[in-house]
């Protein structure tokens, strides 16, 4: 598995990361353990979870905490989740969330704690940022980040307080490449992309009689522009190939609770990439024409 440096953190991360939201929905720790150990065995070392991702943090602690030196552990805070009580987006809740995450995942430090998509007004009060900085100073986390999009992401970047940015970016959601990602790169932030396979809507059939959502309409509009020479038949390969062709993206987190899907994603990245540069350019061009 190829690795790169996560911005100014200096952390070496796998370009394919594991988003653990779906694993958090599993009721069986043994299945979660199989997924997590498969990821580590095959070279995925960036694990992205959150306090509100169900059992996700618990499963990490119960199944792979003995392999702690093998992975970069990122979580998110800000929401009332688990055993937490109090008001969301306050310093006490952030600090309590970090302590809960440490206990759940059976570790004495986190590599990255990210604010979980709060709005600009929360950021402007700076209370939650100060809480993260306090946790960093106390060595509870090595680095701090912001997860979110649009104007709030720009505010977070320009504040100069964060080490990383997690942002939505994929072949049908390329808005972040217009301003957010270039600005984050200029600040030497690590760039983590979420939803990299665009919910697998590319080429997926739309049920008769249903109303297509925005993702489906955008994918169909891009497809309706005609065939793309050299485009992979496999839509997951296309989506992963597109996102990992972006040099500014350090790691793309893909979530699944299916062992075969995880194994397939890893094999696609290891054996089938890169996809054609012409295909990547055409996908950019089609997005630009629709905006």
pLDDT digits (tens, 9 = 90+) for 173-223: 999 999 999 999 999 999 999 999 988 889 888 888 888 899 999 999 999
- Kindly write down the DSSP assignment for every residue of 140-191, as one continuous string: SEEEEEEE--HHHHHHHHHHT--SEEEEE-SSS--GGGTTHHHHHHHTT-EE
- Which of 10, 102, 105, 8 minimizes the C-alpha distance to 55? 105
What does the pLDDT read at residue 211? 87
What integer pLDDT is reported at residue 200 of this predicted model?
87
> Residue 291 has what pLDDT?
85
Q: Which residues, including other chains, have CB under 8 Å from residue 18's CB and lie 6 or more apart?
A: 36, 39, 44, 46, 47, 48, 253, 254, 255, 262
Q: What pLDDT is recorded for position 209?
A: 81
First to last CA, the chain: 35
Write out the catalytic residue numbers: 53
Q: Which domains does the chain have, with CATH numbers?
A: 3-289 (3.20.20.100)
pLDDT of residue 203: 86
What are the residue ranges in the chain where pLDDT is below 50? Answer: none
pLDDT for the residue numbered 28: 93
Q: Is the pTM of this model over 0.85?
A: yes
3-state helix vs strand vs coil in the chain, percent to 5: 45, 15, 40
CA gap 44, 12 in Å, rounded: 11
Specify the pLDDT at position 227. Answer: 94
Token code pair at residue 76: 């998110």
* 106, 130, 141, 176, 228 from 163: Cα distances, Å: 24, 14, 12, 18, 37
């Amino acid at each position: 598995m190829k690795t790169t440096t996560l911005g100014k953190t200096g952390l070496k991360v796998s370009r394919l990361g594991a988003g653990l939201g779906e694993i958090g929905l599993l009721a069986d720790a043994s299945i979660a353990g199989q997924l997590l150990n498969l990821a580590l065995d095959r070279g995925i070392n960036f694990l992205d979870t959150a306090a509100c991702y169900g059992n996700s943090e618990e499963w990490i602690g119960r199944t792979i905490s003995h392999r702690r030196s093998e992975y970069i552990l990122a979580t998110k805070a800000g929401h009332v989740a688990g055993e937490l009580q109090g008001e969301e987006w306050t310093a006490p809740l952030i600090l309590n969330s970090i302590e809960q995450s440490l206990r759940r995942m059976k570790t004495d430090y986190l590599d990255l704690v990210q604010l979980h998509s709060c709005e600009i007004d929360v950021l402007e009060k700076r209370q939650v940022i100060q809480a993260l900085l306090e946790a960093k100073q106390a060595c509870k986390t090595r680095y701090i980040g912001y997860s979110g999009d649009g104007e709030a992401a720009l505010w977070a970047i320009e504040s100069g307080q964060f080490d990383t940015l997690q942002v939505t970016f994929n072949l049908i959601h390329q808005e972040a490449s217009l301003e957010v990602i270039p600005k984050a790169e200029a600040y030497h932030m690590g760039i983590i992309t979420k939803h990299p396979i665009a919910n697998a809507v590319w080429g997926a059939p739309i049920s008769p009689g249903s109303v297509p959502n925005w993702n489906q309409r955008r994918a169909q509009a891009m497809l309706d522009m005609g065939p793309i020479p050299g485009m992979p038949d496999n839509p997951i390969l296309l989506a992963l190939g597109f996102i990992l062709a972006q040099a500014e993206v350090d790691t793309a987190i893909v979530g699944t609770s299916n062992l075969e899907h995880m194994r397939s994603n890893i094999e696609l990245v290891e054996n089938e990439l890169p996809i054609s540069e012409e295909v990547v350019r055409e996908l950019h061009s089609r997005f630009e024409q629709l905006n």
